[in-house]
Structure 1
Amino acid sequence: MAPVIRQWEEAGRPISLVMTGQHRNTVDTLFADFGIRAQPRYVYEGPEINGIARMALWLPRIIWRMVWHADTYFPSRRGIIVVHGDTFSTLAGSLAGKLLGMKVAHVEAGLRSYNIFHPFPEELTRLAVFHLSDIAFCPGEWAMRNMEGYRCERINTGMNTIVDSVKIALENSVEIPPKDSYGVISIHRFENIFSAKRLRQIVEMLEYAASQCRLIFVLHPATEKRLRHNKLFERLKQNANIQLKPRMGYTEFIRLAMGARFVVTDGGSNQEELALTGIPVYLMRKATERQEGLKKNILLGKYNFNAFKSFIHQSLQETGRSNTPKLPEISPASIICDKLALYLST
């Protein structure tokens, strides 16, 4: 959403930036990366939400707060609540909008895996938000078709706002590092970290990759918590070829990935970002709601160990990839801002 907020601010239009506070410890860095000036209104200001029990208590509480203190979070009821993606924050914002009688616009609408367990619970979250939305900003024709039958206006943004995000990140990176013999790891999805069996399997796969080259494992707080819970954190920490790093800012992560030989991730946004750059990616998932990069530089791994081994070997042998990818000229954030401005002027 950051490129949309940035362009909206540059046009001098008023905005109320409501943050659920789920991942507050990285927000300040993100604001700096994207030059966002708005002062956020936090619905929740406690510790990071990184467990199922905390999430179950947190979600209804923040919805209640947004509705009960609506004047604080939404000064103009004639405005539009704009939500993004498939998180619980997306669902919370959409529900609050409906309860307050406001229009809800969903950015990144129409993405589907057609498998309710992969990704879980994101696939269910998306379906709920589709029903709650008045305006659906769909990143392409495939997403547009997936929104047929829902009672909302569909708008094709051509691609996702990640195009704008990557452009900004590369502009912010003074120097992209040369290709080095390291891989980047980012694992955080519910279905991967809350299954002890699956998490052990992933750790074994990463240990194999570490036997071939150096790894930089960017740890989400929830991932670190589950690794420690399953007594896997020390096992990774003691591996001389695995460097554990805390979750970092957007620009820093893109810069790190641009210098890598490969990336292993379970993130849908990472899939889209890295599809634009051509970096080899092993997607640690059974199914994906996105089409970008599949059968090109993105391998939907389905946890297949043999496919993973082949991916590592091929990635380490690859040469000649450019550090400065040619990105599409389209700006989905501009399309979204123009449409929102038109809605608000009528």
Structure 2
Amino acid sequence: MARPRQPRHVALVVGTRPEAIKLAPVCLALRRTRRVVPIIVCTGQQADLAPRTLAEFGLLPTLSLAPDLLHSPTFARTSRLAGRLATALRRPAGKPLDLILVQGDTLSAVAGAMAGRWLEVPVGHVEAGLRSGDPSDPWPEEQNRRAIAKLAVLHFAPTVQAWRNLVAEGIPQDRITLTGNTGIDAVRLARSWTPMLDTATAGLLSGPAPVLATAHRRNGFGRFQGALAEALNRLAGLGDTVVFVTHTNPRATDPVAARLAPAVQILPPAGFGAFQRLLAHAAAVITDSGGLQEEATVLSRPAVVIRARTERPEAIAAGARLAAPDPGAIVAQTHAARTDPPRPRARWLFGDGYAADRVALRIADFLNAPRTAVGPVATDRLTAAPLTGGAMARQVIE
């Protein structure tokens, strides 16, 4: 009697909250295939927040690295983490790895891709192909994306433009899969949750729609923070309910919070489910976040992005506004975004909420995983959706 073929093992490298949000649906989809065993590896980059976010999806890390507490330049921390991951991923959970999956543009994502190269394990990149066009903005995220593209063998492009960017850089088309953005899957899943809400959040949800604001990118430190605080004070002075949601990095949000008038409400970092409730209720969102550009688009919320350029032009096509780090510009663009609301059909520019299933099926096929007891992946939605090329793009958009 032939010995049954063993399932493949894939490590999902999770360092930050956004990675947890966007890889959790992929982990769930891989499990449903029953062809691939996902191994969640938390890098310690956001040692408390990433596991907490995974828990909202009912997931726990398989392996967790201790946080790197040494204060040193980004390149040094990246190299150290890559070495630690290479050691940890030789045989995680006692099994040889078949693929390392990274997401986005974080330090953990680059380190995971580097570890894969050192271990001679193929690397897959979720949310591949995003490009701002300026290697220094946002920094180091734009450089990280480009570095991962050179290390990965599977590229999961979330949008048509991302797919085109990869093709233009010479990535073979048979290595690119146009999937949609897995963050939209997370938004879809969160709609069915009943998150625990603190008193302040519950009160906001029962009151007038607020203007939400967030800030966290390191290249926004400095004048950006003062400009954001002054803009929020002006909006509150004009009668808006204004809420600033802080980040776990005090360097990102303390300088803003310290300048806010009493009329601006300050909330601690919210869980993903609770924040989705707030975002769906918001009159507008002001942010420097990439993920929030996607979430605001799919929820048809007016958005203002405090950046000179964005690697997500789809958000601009949907009605989001770019604003210079100037109080007057931020206030003006917020009013403009609310006057000209997001375009309803454009909400699908980031995908249909089933990107993770496409990622999972592509991985299983790439690894030639045994087709025994294939689980309930949403194949009914995928039968007419090829894994590469423009036909898939048209289906996702239209």
**Common topology (TM > 0.5):** yes
* Larger RCO (CA within 8 A; separation ≥ 6): 2
User: Structure 1 vs Structure 2: percent identity of aligned residues?
Assistant: 27
Instruction: Give the aligned partner of residue 135 of structure 2.
Output: 116
Residue 152 (structure 1) shift: 7.6
The answer on whether the counterparts of 1:140 and 1:156 sit within 8 Å (CA) in structure 2 is no
Instruction: Give the aligned partner of residue 189 of structure 1.
Output: 217
Instruction: Give the aligned partner of residue 166 of structure 1.
Output: 187
Pairing 1:2-81 to 2, within 5 Å after superposition: 2-12=24-34, 13-36=36-59, 38-45=60-67, 53=72, 55=74, 57-73=76-92, 75-81=94-100
Query: Residues 275-311 of structure 1: CA distance to partner in whole angstroms, max 9, x if unpaired?
Result: 1111010011111111223143311223354442233
Query: Within 1, Cα distance between the matches of 2:75 and 2:275?
Result: 30
Distance 1:72 1:209, change over 3 A: farther
Query: Within 2, Cα distance between the matches of 1:262 and 1:18?
Result: 35
Query: Within 2, Cα distance between the matches of 1:305 and 1:254?
Result: 26
Instruction: Give the aligned partner of residue 139 of structure 1.
Output: 158
Pairing 1:288-307 to 2, within 5 Å after superposition: 288-307=310-329
Taking only aligned residues, the RMSD between alpha carbons, in angstroms, comes to: 3.0
- 1:308 partner amino acid: I
Instruction: Give the aligned partner of residue 216 of structure 1.
Output: 243
- Greater displacement, 71-80 / 103-112: 71-80
Instruction: Give the aligned partner of residue 129 of structure 1.
Output: 148
Pairing 1:228-243 to 2, within 5 Å after superposition: 228=254, 233-236=257-260, 239-243=261-265
Query: Residues 231-287 of structure 1: CA distance to partner in whole angstroms, max 9, x if unpaired?
Result: x54332xx2222222212111111111111110011111101111111010011111
Query: Within 2, Cα distance between the matches of 1:319 and 1:120?
Result: 30
Query: Within 1, Cα distance between the matches of 2:314 and 2:207?
Result: 23
Distance 1:66 1:4, change over 3 A: same
Q: Could you tell me which of 265, 268, 271 is aligned with 1:246?
A: 268
Query: Within 1, Cα distance between the matches of 2:252 and 2:288?
Result: 16
The answer on whether the counterparts of 2:105 and 2:144 sit within 8 Å (CA) in structure 1 is yes
Q: Secondary structure at the match of 1:7?
A: helix
- Greater displacement, 204-213 / 16-25: 204-213
Residue 151 (structure 1) shift: 5.7
The answer on whether the counterparts of 2:160 and 2:178 sit within 8 Å (CA) in structure 1 is no
Residue 33 (structure 1) shift: 2.0
Residue 11 (structure 1) shift: 3.4
- 1:191 partner amino acid: N
Distance 1:158 1:272, change over 3 A: same
Query: Within 1, Cα distance between the matches of 2:207 and 2:99?
Result: 44
The answer on whether the counterparts of 2:228 and 2:326 sit within 8 Å (CA) in structure 1 is no
Query: Within 1, Cα distance between the matches of 2:343 and 2:163?
Result: 33
Q: Could you tell me which of 258, 280, 286 is aligned with 1:264?
A: 286
- Residue 105 of structure 1 pairs with residue 132 of structure 2: no
Residue 155 (structure 1) shift: 2.9
TM-score of the superposed pair, with normalisation by structure 1? 0.85
Which blocks of at least 5 consecutive residues in structure 2 are unaligned? 1-22, 370-398
Query: Residues 4-46 of structure 1: CA distance to partner in whole angstroms, max 9, x if unpaired?
Result: 011222334312111111112223432232122x433112236
- 1:235 partner amino acid: R
- Residue 156 of structure 1 pairs with residue 177 of structure 2: yes
Distance 1:29 1:180, change over 3 A: farther
- 1:204 partner amino acid: E
Query: Within 1, Cα distance between the matches of 2:342 and 2:79?
Result: 51
Q: Could you tell me which of 294, 309, 321 is aligned with 2:331?
A: 309
The answer on whether the counterparts of 1:141 and 1:156 sit within 8 Å (CA) in structure 2 is no
TM-score of the superposed pair, with normalisation by structure 2? 0.75
Query: Within 2, Cα distance between the matches of 1:18 and 1:318?
Result: 43
Q: Could you tell me which of 354, 360, 372 is aligned with 1:331?
A: 354
Instruction: Give the aligned partner of residue 274 of structure 1.
Output: 296
Q: Secondary structure at the match of 2:191?
A: helix
The answer on whether the counterparts of 1:283 and 1:298 sit within 8 Å (CA) in structure 2 is yes
Distance 1:117 1:54, change over 3 A: closer
- Greater displacement, 93-102 / 308-317: 308-317
Query: Within 2, Cα distance between the matches of 1:162 and 1:320?
Result: 19
Query: Residues 94-145 of structure 1: CA distance to partner in whole angstroms, max 9, x if unpaired?
Result: 0000000000000111110101122111000001001001111112322112
The answer on whether the counterparts of 2:322 and 2:333 sit within 8 Å (CA) in structure 1 is no
Q: Secondary structure at the match of 1:58?
A: helix
Query: Within 1, Cα distance between the matches of 2:51 and 2:331?
Result: 38
Give the number of aligned pairs.
333
Instruction: Give the aligned partner of residue 232 of structure 2.
Output: 206
The answer on whether the counterparts of 1:287 and 1:302 sit within 8 Å (CA) in structure 2 is no
- Greater displacement, 95-104 / 287-296: 287-296
Distance 1:17 1:247, change over 3 A: same
Query: Residues 297-336 of structure 1: CA distance to partner in whole angstroms, max 9, x if unpaired?
Result: 31122335444223333566689999xx999645111111
Distance 1:65 1:235, change over 3 A: same
